[in-house]
Each structure stands twice: as structure tokens, then as C-alpha cells.
Amino acid sequence: MAKRELIIEGVVINDDSDVFTIAEIGHNHQGDIEKCKAMFRAAKECGVTSVKLQKRDNRALYTQAMYDEPYNSENAYAPTYGAHREVLEFSEEQYKELLAYARELGLVFFSTAFDVPSADLLERVGIPCYKIASGDLTNLPLVKHIARFGKPMFISTGGGTMEDVQRMVDEITPLNDKFCILQCTSGYPPAFEELNIRVIETYRNAFPDHVIGFSSHDNGIAMPLLGYMLGARVLEKHFTLNRAWKGTDQAFSLEPAGMRRVVRDLQRAKIALGDGVKRAYESEEKPLMKMQKKIVAARDLPAGRVLTEADLTFKSPADEGLRPFEVDKLIGKKLTQPLTRDQAVTFDMVAKAADVA
């Protein structure tokens, strides 16, 4: 594997590539597979690279007390937290169906695995890569279990310290070095002063062998561009079809119009950065002809006059003649022909040497 590069289903991610964009659907599909497919289609139309869900084995993940805890939220789908979460889960067969559908659309499809049984289910399904949630940054047994599958991983680092990130890198690299480290702040959404996007630079310096990305939980579209400029080549944004839908993640997710602009702006940024070589472009010629200036006679001037600064001025359009930076080459020279006011001055209108005697 090349330095700072991942390849997922033929999609290359490195410093020179387009951004690998992830539409994080999570459980915004509300447990409805047809709604989920509709979100896949919408994401594809927005131009994203991939779509992602979340997989939990709720009995394995939660204590019995938490599973049975009453859930009185306006976002609840059932009276207890565990039952609520079960409504939102897709089965193994449904995951296979969604994987096939995503591939028909030309999307990379994967999921976050929150526990070992979920990871094993996703591996049986055959997803091409895995997401590690911020909450599992310190859950090395789970991360190592997933690392042993040998597939690329996207590892979120929300709520972690640099020590936590370094520990994770040190522990899983011997098992699998194909992972991307995502700067993330695990607020839903976080305050902008807590995004700390410059951590992307910190990660790039500390982990030069790894792709660095940005899981942006804010509810706007501008921050991904900052992440890109600082070196993120993976961008995850929560995605929905309607932010008014029931669900805890809906309100800060992007609807298609917002996601489309994020993808568009990231693509434009890559192109617009260019190669750093300053040059003039053909498209600039007509506008600059109107704006730039040429050297012209400030008044009617007779042949034989020795030119002074007062005899010359600078006016648009720059359709002929000399540019203002060449004016010093004319001062002190004798005109070989008369000039009318506003006439462009050229070197062939003056003697080669001044003769003021």
C-alpha cells in the first residue's frame, strides 16, 4: 500500500485524489429499507462517493438495564430504549440487499460496527470497509477484531485525546495498516469553536503514512472546505431527505441540496487550487483589455518634441501600444511624428536616441 493512500472498490484516496465523500445515513432511514434506498438514490444524485449506515446488536451492546430503560423521547419508536433501537436495525439479508443496490448505483456501501456480532454480520455480508465510531476509539478489542478482517477502516476520534489516538494506531497497525483517521467532535451538533479542524494538520504531521479525514458534525456546508484545505481527503456528513423527520440525527443532517453543494464545492476546490504556477489565461484577455491601460499622448504633440512625463498619460483600453511600465523608456526621447490627444505611443514613433541640442 502506498504511503498515505487507501483503495476501496477501485476508488483511490490520497493527497492528489478527489475527496472520498461519505453520506452518513446512520438510522435516518427510520428502519424502512425502501426509504433507505431512496436515500441512496438521492445521495448518488448529489455526487457522493459512498453511503454509510450503523449496525448494532442491541442485546450484545447494552446492559439489560439500559436495554429495558423507559425511553420517553419525542424521537422514540418504542417505549424502552432497547426496543426503540431494534426498530431501526436492518437484518443480514437486508444488508445484502442494500449492498447489491448500492453497487448497482455505483456507490461504496459500508457501515459502522458497534460490537463484535455486528462486525461479524457485516463481514458475512461482504462490505468493503468499516467505520469505527468515536465511542470505540478506546475499545481496542473491537477495533482489533475488525482490523483482522484486513479491510480498510475509517476511525473517528471524537472525544479522544492524542494519547488515545496514538494508542489505537500503535495497537492496530501491526494487524492492519489500511486505515484513515478522522478528526471529529462528537457533539450533535458541536459548537463551531469545538470543531478544532486544525487537528487535521496535527494528524497529518503525526501520522504521515495514513489518509486523514474529517467527520463534520456541524449542520452547515462550509467546514468541509476548511478540512480539505488542511489536508482531509475523506469527508463524512450526516444525510437525510427531510430534517423535520423523527430521529435524533435528522436536525443537523444535510438534505440533498446541502450535500450537493458540499460535493460541488469540494470538487471545485481541488480544481481551483491549480498547480501554483502564475500564468495568464485566454479567458482574461477581453476583460483585461477593458481594464488595463496603454501609454497615450496627453495632448496634441508636434514632431520633434522631447517627451516629458506631462506629455504622456495612461488610458484604457489596452488594445495596442505600450504598457505603463515602459513609460520611462519614452521620457527624454524625441518624437519623429506628430501625435494627437489619446493616440497610442509606440517606440517607432521616437528617435532611438534623444537629441535635445
Q: Same domain for 340 and 267?
A: no
Q: Same domain for 152 and 76?
A: yes
The whole domain housing 184 covers 5-273
- The three-state secondary structure class of 303 is coil
Report the pLDDT averaged over residues 316-325.
96
pLDDT interval class at 354 (50, 70, 90) = very low
pLDDT interval class at 248 (50, 70, 90) = confident
- Grid coordinates belonging to 288: 483585461
Q: Same domain for 229 and 291?
A: no
- Grid coordinates belonging to 249: 440525527
More confident residue, 78 or 354: 78
Predicted pLDDT of residue 2: 55
Q: Same domain for 153 and 171?
A: yes
Nearest-angstrom CA–CA distance, 14 and 325: 44
Predicted pLDDT of residue 243: 85
**Are the CB atoms for 55 and 89 separated by under 8 Å?**
yes
**Are the CB atoms for 36 and 97 separated by under 8 Å?**
no
**Are the CB atoms for 286 and 69 separated by under 8 Å?**
no
Predicted pLDDT of residue 357: 46
pLDDT interval class at 353 (50, 70, 90) = low
Q: Same domain for 150 and 42?
A: yes
DSSP string, 326-346: GGGGTTTPBBSS-B-TTPBP-
Using the 3D structure, point to which of 273, 301, 332 is the last residue of a domain.
273
Predicted pLDDT of residue 188: 81
Residues 6+ apart with CB under 8 A from 63: none
Q: Is 96 part of a structural domain of the chain?
A: yes
CATH number of the domain at 307, please. Answer: 3.90.1210.10
Long-range contact set of residues 284-292: C-beta below 8 Å, sequence gap at least 24: 288/318, 289/316, 289/317, 289/318, 289/319, 290/316, 290/317, 291/316, 291/318, 292/316, 292/317, 292/318, 292/323
CATH number of the domain at 68, please. Answer: 3.20.20.70
Q: What is the number of domains present in the chain?
A: 2
Q: Same domain for 294 and 223?
A: no
pLDDT of 187 higher than 90: no
Residue 28 neighbours by CB distance under 10 Å: 26
CA-based nearest residue to 180, from 123, 127, 233: 233
pTM of the model: 0.88
What would the pLDDT profile of 15-26 be if each residue is shown by its tens digit? 999 999 999 999
**Are the CB atoms for 188 and 248 separated by under 8 Å?**
yes
What would the pLDDT profile of 191-243 be if each residue is shown by its tens digit? 889 999 999 999 999 999 999 999 998 888 999 999 999 999 999 999 998 88
